Structures are given as structure tokens and as C-alpha cells.
Structure 1
Amino acid sequence: MNKNELISASKSLLARLQKVDYDRLPISDYNKQYIRKIYPALAYYMEIYADCLYRGISSSNLSPENITLVDYGGGSGFLSMLAKEIGIGQVIYVDLNPLSVETIKVLKHEVGTGPDIILPGSSDALADWCQARQIQPQLLIATDLIEHVYNLSAFFTDLCRINNEMELIFTTGSTPYNPFVKRKLHRFMKDCESGVAVSPGYYARREQYLRESFPELTEEQLKVWASCTRGVIYDDIKRAVETNHLPFPEDKYNTCDPETGNWAERILPIQRYRISLAPCNYHLSVKKGFYNTHRTNPLQSLLCQLINGLIRISGKAGLFLAPFITLHCKNNK
């Protein structure tokens, strides 16, 4: 498939999506708010989805109709819809949030296109489902997801269990290169810890858990354990205290919800992804993202076009300008 065909399909789907009155649909307030948030930049998101699909199809050397695609952490399902629009043979939508799963069912009926299979759950549920049916997808795409995965090694192990030759494409705004993005996300992480971004904050929740679970700890010990278990879920905190194994955070800022393990836009060095992928014999390449040129302000659009051009021609240095990165993981055959 050539890129012009994909862009044309993307524009056609975008026009249909923009005609939908999402507020009147029988979907959750959570998903209505999410769609309302991304709606002004929907053309930009469609461009990102198209770029991911083009990379995956081109690299696979397969015709779209012969590809089984996993839209992992699919959210409102717009990537799944675009995949079906361009003729992907089978699309499997997966999301852990039951509200999102119900939303894609409604949107599929409303728009007239969508995934063939809709699955609730995470990577282990997907792996079990595929193995039980002997389905081996050739491509998995996940946008704005990898930075939230609690245990990368377990995640990649599940994906390799599905098909150890499946190509994996992840986009993430948690780039370790762009200093402006890093500064913004570090501030957000600190706010998650302190309680400014979420209430109660993650530190307070860990401290409360430790206080209730281990009443024998002194106030000083509570503070030490609450600080050192930043980025650790309750079950792992319990194991650490019981074995008296005090963990030390790898990074000054990264933190996660101690109940769910959902990382707060975790920023990792690329080498960390490579280490996690190594047991699956995967090669990781990093691609530069681009800025949104679909803006109401023409000057802003022009500025973004100029910066995108600079990103394209500046080689690896462009990574320090790019607002996001794409991680393309392919088996070392």
C-alpha cells in the first residue's frame, strides 16, 4: 500500500468521525471526556495512526488483507477503524478499561467500521486468547501506552508468547531526548507524588498502606519505606518489607499508582527497552515523531511545519526536537 492511499483513507474516515455527535451516544462520561479532549487534534492523531500503519505494513512485506493486527490499549478505537478502512484482514482490539471496550462497540455501529474482535484485558489475556485459537498476529500497534506498563519484561514475554515474529510499534510522548518534554513530564510526576495532580498523592497512599499493613514500623521507618518504594505497587511493597529488602528507585522522578501500577508517563532510556526486549531476540529502532500542523492558527501551523521539516533533515539530532518517538521492534531473524 502506498502512502497516498493511506492518507486518502485517513481523511475519509476523519470526515465521518467529525460528523458524529459523541455527546448523544450511549457511552460513558469518561470516554466522552476523552474524545472531547482529543477531538480538536483528531486529524493529528489520525496522521500518527496512519504513520504507524504505513511503517508496519511496509516492514511486514505483506498485503494488508493478509495481516492480522492487534490494536493494543485501543481506547476509543480510531486506529482499529483506520486499519479496517485500508483493508487490514483482521483487527483485534484490546483494552483493559471496560468502559473503552463498551465504547468501541457503540462507535463501530455508529461509524460503520471497526475491529473484528473486541477483547477486554491486558497482555496475558490477549496471549491466552490467541494461543487458544492458534491465531498469530503479524503486527501490534500501541499508541501512548508503553510509558504506562508496570512490568515491561512480563509485557514483552506475553507478546512473544503470541508470536515471537510479530512486529511491535509503540508511540510514546515520554521521550528521553526532548529536554522541554522531559521537564514538563518531570513536573507532572512530582505533582503525582505530592498530591497536586492526583489526590491523595502517590507518596501519601504508599505511606498510608505501610502504616496500615505494618503498624510496627516507626515514623522514621515509614518515611524511608514510603520514599524508597516510589514506583512500586502494593503487592511488591509488601514483599519488600516482609523480606526487609529496601528498594531504591532507578530514577529521580518516575512514579506509578501503587494500586494499579500505572506509571505516570514514565521516561526510560532506550537501552532499558532494549534490555527488556533482549530475551525475545528483538531489535529496536527509534523513529522521530512530528508536531501537529492541523491548527486553527495559521502561524502556529506554519511554525510546526517548519519544525517538522527541521526534524526530518537533522538526523539523530532531530530526536531532541521531536515531541514523541516511535519504537519499532522487530525480531532478529
Structure 2
Amino acid sequence: MVSNLKEDVFIFGASRAGIECFNNTKNIHNIVGYIDNDKNKWNTTIENINVYSPDILLKYRNNRVIIASVYYKEIINQLEKMEIYNYDFEPIILKNHKMDNKIVESKRILFKKLRNIDIKSLKISDYNKRYLSEIINDAKFFLQVYSEILQSIITKINKPLDEVNFIDYGGGTGILSILAKEVGFGNVYYNDIYDVSCCDAKEIASKLGYNIKDYICGDLKQVIKYCNENKICFDCLGNFDVLEHIYNLKKFFSNIRYISENSMVLSMFTTANPYNKEIVGKLTQQHKKIEYEERVKVYGCKERDSLKAYFHIRIEIIKQYLESKSIYLDDNKIKELSNVTKGKDKNDIIRILDEFLKTNNLPDNNDKFSSNTCDPYTGNWAEHLIDFEKLISYIQKLGKINISLLPNNKEELKNSNVIAINLVM
């Protein structure tokens, strides 16, 4: 293995993703070898680069390992069992865009700061202490996704980065906001519907040494109000694991234009990938539990979320409404009404009830994923499996909008743990 002035790195994954990683990084790194778990590939070469067993990494611990595989979580566990922590990711989703050096450096700076933060000393809720701990424990993954969100925006924005108004919509702990600030986005605004998270995110940013422009608490309606009152417009919006919780996606995409002036770039990533059968199977089981089983209050739970089974909450709402109208229906009919109103919030449940009482008609459940369910009190979906074809068709009718899914290949979508919807509108 011959070194030069470039950083020596191994690529973990001697397959198509690994070859793409090699082509993307060969000008900035010295690729000293491929690593793969397939014994049949050991002692072979790819474009004159040797393929080795993972055991060779024990000899070259100081060399960085770039993971280029959809099995990255398993590989991370494998490396950490070998006490190898000097690993990074090839962008698995945005394969056509080389990560900007500034983003890579910002990600590393923030990674170190997160590793050093004392969560116990933070004056934040138990919910966000738990949430932040999860992010820090899987920091490489989260920061990689956040980086890809920002990179996706940067490649589409037609404005100097230091003049950009960015909103982290549904920001949770605010780590995406912080990374955007570190990267150099001019004005970074944080938003979340949960007032507790709005306060906690401010504390986290302060502790890490970042000044976020402002914190906007509420849903899109409140963000629109904030824009009107403060006479500002947003150039871009990003988030991770928010899309699958928005109650009315059609309404969201119809109204998002009211927070921008001309064009706006949106990059929304989610792990609720409906094209990945394994993910669909896991989330379907999760939906059934939340729908029919009561949950126990545990450390770090979100106070805003209901613990009762959603099916029983809808029964309570239906019974209370019927009692207020002095109307009697038998238990079987009430259970039927609860079933057909699955995935509806209280307002929509009552609207459906009124229609039923007038016409005796009930709506069909035409959801592509029949297990989908939401909290009837808040409208918060339980990891909503979205019918993206239907959603994209609706968005395209709103006007001249450039919209795409990532990965943009159906075969890659089936294997990806993350899916993204990107828009320029």
C-alpha cells in the first residue's frame, strides 16, 4: 500500500456503491483498498484496487473508512465491535453530488461538540434529553442525513449562502439548525409545533455556542403569521422525520408558498420509506400497536402525545359527540364509526359523523396503506406511510414546481432506509 500526500482511506463496500464512491473521491483521497464481507471478493481487484477482508483494518486503525453500502448500520456495528471509530459515509442518497468540503468540515466540528456535551447538565425536558441522546449515539448517521438535506438545498438555491433565510421546520432538538449555521446559511430560523422543544432547542444551541436567528413555535399557520408580522420570507426549508407526521400534506404544500416571496427550495427527508418492504412491515406492526394498545408513560415520553389506544380515543370522541346531540347508537355501530374514521383528527371525525347522521353514508378508506393511523387529538401521524405517487400528482397541479424523489431509482428506493422529497416551487 503506497501513500501519497492525500489522506489514505479504505472504502467499505466492493460493489456498485463502492465504485461510485471511488469515482467521487479518488481526486481528494488516496484509496488504498476496498473492504468487503464477501469472502469471494477478497484478494481480487477493482480497477487495480485490492479488495481485503475487514480484518486488515485492525492493522490500519489510523486510516479513515468510508462506508459505501446500504448495510451501513450493520457495518457500523461491525466496525465499533472492532473498536474502529474513524469511519464516515459516502452520501447514499445524493450519489450525484459530491459533498461540499465546507459541509464535511462543519459536520466534523459539530460531531466533536455533540460528543463533548453533558446532556445531564442541560436545562431541557426529559423528552429532549432522550431525543438528543439518541442523536448523539447515532451522530454519524444523523449528521450525514442533515448534511445531505443542506447539500440538496445548496445545489438548487439561486442566492449567496450568507444571504439565505433557512427554516428548520419541525426542528426537534434543533441540530439541523445548528449544522446549517455552522455551514454558513445566513439567517437560520427554528420551528416546532411543540412549545417544549422550542425552549429546549434554544438551550441546546446556546450550550453548543450557536445563535439561531429566531424560534417560531406552532404549525405552518403560525409560521405564515410570523412572516407577515416580521415582513420576512424564507428561501428554503429542510427537515428530517417530519414529513410523516404532518396531518394534512395537501394543505401543507398548498400553503407553504405563503412563507416565500418568489421561489423556495424544500428538502424533506424521512425514514418512513414506503418502497422498502422491511420498513413497511415494521411500521405496519407499530401502527397496529398504537391503534389498539394503550402505552405506559416512560422516561422521556412526549407530553403532547396520547397514551391511550387511538381506536379507543375515537370511540370516546364519537360517544361524547353523540351524547351532546342526544343521539343513541349501539356499540357495534360506534366501533364501525371508529374504524372508518381512523387517520382523522377530532374535527374531521365530527365532520364525518355529521355527514353520517344526515345521509347514513360513511367514507371509504382509500389509503394505500390501511394501517396508517394518527392521534385524534393532535392529528400527529404515527410514522405515516405516504402514497408518494398520489402526493406528487397533487403537488404538480399546484403550478410550475420542480419535484423529485431521492433515491430517484425504484430499485434503490426499495433498499434505502431513507427517502427524500425535494421541491423548487
What TM-score does the superposition give when structure 2 sets the normalisation length? Answer: 0.69
> Deviations along 1:232-259, whole A, 9 cap, x unmatched?
1111111211121522222311111111
Check the 8 A contact 2:165/2:234 in 1, yes or no.
yes
Deviation (angstroms), 1:134: 2.6
1:317 to 411, 418, 421: 411
Given that 1:156 and 1:280 are in contact with CA atoms closer than 8 Å, whether structure 2 keeps it comes out as no
- CA-to-partner distance for each residue in 1:117-167, whole Å, 9 max, x for gaps? 111111111111112333121110011001111111221222111126211
Quote how far apart the aligned CAs of 1:49 are.
0.6
Q: Is the 8 A contact 2:149 2:239 kept in 1?
A: no
Mapped to 2, the partners of 1:119 and 1:140 lie a distance apart of: 13
Instruction: State the AA in 2 paired with 1:271.
Output: E
Cα distance in structure 2, aligned partners of 1:141 and 1:2 = 17
| Residue identity opposite 2:321 in structure 1 | S
| Conserved 8 A contact 2:106-2:183 | yes
Kindly provide the amino acid, as one letter, of the partner of residue 186 in structure 1: T
Q: Secondary structure at the match of 1:286?
A: strand
| Partner SS state of residue 284, structure 1 | strand
Of residues 338, 341, 355, the one that matches 1:226 is 338
Q: Could you tell me which amino acid in structure 2 is paired with residue 50 of structure 1?
A: S
Query: Is the counterpart of residue 39 in structure 1 residue 155 in structure 2?
Result: no
Give yes or no for the alignment of 1:288 onto 2:424: no
Q: Is the contact between residue 235 and residue 265 of structure 2 (CA under 8 Å) also seen in structure 1?
A: yes
1:133 aligns with 230
The equivalent of 2:10 in structure 1 is none
Deviation at 1:38, TM superposition (A): 2.4
CA distance in 1, matches of 2:184, 2:349: 47
Give the alignment partner of residue 318 of structure 2, picking from 210, 215, 234.
210
SS of alignment partner, residue 259 of structure 1: coil
Aligned to 2:247, the other structure's residue is in SS state: coil
Question: Does the Cα contact within 8 Å between 2:177 and 2:190 map onto a contact in 1?
Answer: yes
User: For residue 249 of structure 1, what is the aligned residue in structure 2?
Assistant: 365
AA partner of residue 248 (structure 1): D
Residues 156/280 of structure 1: CA separation in 2 closer, same or farther (3 Å cut): farther
Residue in structure 2 matched with residue 330 of structure 1 by the alignment: 424
2:85 aligned residue: none
Higher relative contact order (CA 8 A, sep 6+): 1
User: In 2, distance between residues paired with 1:184 and 1:142?
Assistant: 23
Distance in 2 of aligned mates of 1:2 and 1:267: 29
Identity of aligned residues (%): 29
CA distance in 2, matches of 1:49, 1:89: 17
Letter of the structure 2 residue corresponding to residue 269 of structure 1: D
- Could you tell me how far apart the structure 2 residues matched to 1:204 and 1:265 are? 19
CA contact (8 A) 1:74 1:94 kept: yes
CA distance in 1, matches of 2:193, 2:386: 23
Q: Given residue 213 of structure 1, which amino acid in structure 2 is its aligned partner?
A: Y
1:296 is aligned to: none
Q: Which of 231, 256, 280 in structure 2 is aligned with 1:182?
A: 280
Q: Give me the TM-score of the superposition, normalised by structure 1.
A: 0.87
Counterpart for residue 267 of structure 1: 385
- Pairwise CA distance, 1:2: 6.1
1:19-30 to 2 correspondence within 5 Å?
19-30=116-127
User: Displacement of 1:196 after TM fit?
Assistant: 5.4
Alpha-carbon distance in 2 for matches of 1:159, 1:288: 24
Distance 1:39 1:257, change over 3 A: same
Instruction: Describe the SS at the equivalent of 1:136.
Output: coil
SS at match of 1:75: coil
The structural deviation recorded for 1:90 is: 0.4
Q: Note closer, same or farther for the CA distance 1:145–1:99 as it changes in structure 2 (3 Å cut).
A: same
Query: Quick one: which amino acid aligns to residue 49 of structure 1?
Result: Y
**How many residues are aligned here?**
306
Structure 1 residues 241 and 2, CA, compared in 2 at 3 Å: closer, same or farther? Answer: closer
In structure 1, the partner of 2:210 is 113
Work out whether residues 177 and 212 of structure 2, in 8 Å CA contact, stay in contact via their aligned partners in 1: yes
User: 2:355 and 2:245 mapped to 1: Cα distance?
Assistant: 27
Q: CA RMSD in A?
A: 1.8
Q: Which amino acid aligns with 2:379?
A: G
- 2:111 aligned partner: 14
Q: Runs of 4 or more off by more than 3 Å in structure 1?
A: 196-199
Name the CA distance, whole Å, in 2 between partners of 1:45 and 1:71. Answer: 15
Q: Secondary structure at the match of 1:130?
A: helix
